[in-house]
Structure 1
Amino acid sequence: MFVPYYLQKAVIIIPANRNTQPLVAIIPNYRKMRFIITMGILSGILSLFGCEQKSDKSENFIQRAKQIEISQLAEELKLLEQNKTEFDFIGITSNGIDCIYFMKDAGKFQIDFEAMTDQQIPYIDKLETFATQNGFATQMTTYGNKPQYNAKEAPVLKIITNSNLEETAKIGQKIQREIFENKTETKFEVVP
């Protein structure tokens, strides 16, 4: 049995006959071993449950996106309007495909749709038609993000609504219902 040197006690046995070599017996120090094993178990338990003080600035948690129903969109836009969001925009999505972003622009709101996957590309035309039918101008742009398909940059359709909070909430609800065919009870994640 291999026992690390710091856990061993060496015992020298000197034989009665001086013509033979002394024996060195290595006896494990079970008290030290038991102490080290106990400390290891204790530190494992403490690391699982934690013994440090948690603060509001603690980064030892997994942040989960807030979930809302589409009827709660106005409340999220109000937080955006009051600068109580992490960024100067928010997005909502139920499945990653139907992600629309609400941007603040000089006290008004605009709506963006960025095609990051090839499944989102057909929605650019649908949203452009929606905007035209509802009297909104559109603009194609990019934020320089690399999409998950063969293109240098992901295209972004900006729907220039110049709308206030209530109008923007209605437009967002209408887009989710008519373009992406989401229901009233569909759960959306609020994403930055």
Structure 2
Amino acid sequence: MVQSEHSVKPARLTARGEATKARMLQVAAELMRVKGVAATTLDEVRSASGTSKSQLYHYFADKDALVQVVIELQARDLLDREEGYLRRLNSIKGLERWRDAIVQRSALRGGAHGCQLGSLASELSDQNEPARAALAGHFGTWLRLMSDAFERMRAAGKLRPEADPEGLATGLMSALQGAFLLAQTTQDVKPMKIALDMAIDYVRGFEV
């Protein structure tokens, strides 16, 4: 997996401690994704994970500390999945398969909840500087995966020499985040597919 420079190294825990912490994190991540960070309370996390207040505070000093680790958890999940697609991507057809996977995954939720990282960024970036910095690092990792894919395509002669991998990656990411927002607000993935198709058409304009 690609590691962001903002990743936090976990403290050593017993197997039981790891299981307890993982359970709390999974519950917190799901609650924060569905309800939002601000609306999710530590009492809800404790109750839904079947843990005590002392257990919760043993692993997380406060809600901000929990949020930081939830960001890492969501980033690992998303970037592991994206790396699986983008590390192999070397053609427009591959880019279309990547689009299909994202649209199909969003369709399973009826377009709800948006992007794992984008939703957190939208809620936290203006309110929580450590969270903003961590999210910026993870978005940077994601952009590098995209940019590297376009660089491979250019080096293989599949894109014209004047194609800008970083610019194409930024444009594609912008289209993707807008697509997530449209799918979320309409509860329909059709706008998502249209937005990504237009971004891919722009990349296709550089095809050799």
TM-score, normalised via structure 1 length = 0.24
TM-score, normalised via structure 2 length = 0.23
Higher percent of residues as helix: 2
| Structure index of larger Rg | 1
